[in-house]
Amino acid sequence: DLVMTQSPDSLAVSLGERATIYCKSSQSLLFSSNNKNYLAWYQQKPGQPPKLLIYWASTRESGVPDRFTGSGSGTDFTLTISSLQAEDVAVYYCQHYFTAPYTFGQGTKLEIK
Amino acid sequence: QVQLQESGPGLVKPSETLSLTCTVSGGSISGFYWSWIWQPPGKGLEWIGYIYYNGNTNYNPSLKSRVTMSVDTSNSQFSLRLTSVTPADTAVYYCVRLSGSGQGYFDYWGQGILVAVSS
C-alpha cells in the first residue's frame, strides 16, 4: 500500500503566525495523463468528523477560508495556514486517492502556543 | 445539503458480526460512491472500502476477508458488515461519500458511531 507520512506529529504556533504541515507519500501521486496530484487534506476537531479542506493537492473546498493553502507535487506536499486562528486548533490529515486502498497520514495535532 | 447518519449497536461481542447502516438524506444515493472509514479511539483514519450505488465494491485488502458492504437505493441506505470482530475493531465508524466527481476524496461525512467490541 502507498504510505503517507506527515510531519511533525504535533505543532504549536502563536495566533496570527504561519503554520506549516508536511505530507510525504511513498510513491508519486502525480498522474501524468491529467497532471493532477491525487492528494487531499482534512481538518478534524475534537468530537467531530473530519472536514475536507483541500483536494487535488491545492484546490480549496467551497467555504474553506483562504488562509488554508495546499501545495506540492509528486511525493511532497504542504498544508499552510497563513495566519493561525483559534478555531484552527485541530488534527490535520493528508490522504491519497491515487488508487485504492486509500490511505491517510498519521495526523498532525495543531495547537496554540 | 447531503447528510449521512450512521446507526447500529454500540456494543458487539468478540467473534460476532458488527452491522452498521448509513442513511443518506438531502441528496441522491444514486450516481455516487459511498465509503466506510474507521478511527480507533485516539488514533488515525483507515479506509474500509467503498460501494457504488449499483452494488460494485472495493474493499481494503487488510479487511477484505471480513467485510461486506451492501446498498439499498430505495431507502437511500448503505451498510457495513464486519465479521469475527475482536477488541481491535473498537472504533468510531464513519460513513462518507466519495466526491461528486467520483474521485477518492471524501466530501460528506456522517457524525460517526462508536462501536465497542467487548464481552
Strands B67-72 and B77-82: antiparallel
What is the predicted pLDDT for the residue at A1? 87
- In A84-113, the residues whose Cβ lies within 8 Å of chain B are 93, 95, 97, 100-107
pLDDT at A49 over 90: yes
Weakest-pLDDT range from A64-68, B37-41, B49-53, B101-105: B101-105
Beta strand residue intervals within chain B, DSSP E: 3-7, 11-12, 18-25, 33-39, 46-52, 57-59, 67-72, 77-82, 91-98, 106-109, 113-117
pLDDT over 90 at A28, yes or no: yes
> A–B: how many Cβ contacts below 8 A?
53
What pLDDT does residue A16 have?
Answer: 98
Please report which confidence band the pLDDT of residue A56 belongs to, taking 50, 70 and 90 as the band edges.
very high
Q: Please give the pLDDT value at position B89.
A: 97
For residues B15-20, average pLDDT = 98
